[in-house]
Amino acid sequence: MFDRLRNLFTIKTKFEAFLIIFGLAMGAVERGMHYLHQYSGFSGKLLFVLCPLAVFMAGGKILDSLYVTD
Q: Which of 9, 58, 5, 55 is nearest to 32 (CA)?
A: 55
| CA–CA separation, 28 and 50 (whole Å) | 9
What is the rounded distance in angstroms from the CA atom of residue 16 to the CA atom of residue 65? 13
Structure confidence by residue, pLDDT tens digits, 27-64: 999 999 999 999 989 999 999 999 999 999 999 999 99
Residue 70: band (very low, low, confident or very high) from pLDDT cuts 50, 70, 90: low
The answer on pLDDT for 23 being more than 90 is yes
What is this structure's pTM?
Answer: 0.81
| pLDDT tier for residue 7 given thresholds of 50, 70 and 90 | confident
Tell me the pLDDT band of 12, cut-offs 50, 70 and 90.
Answer: confident
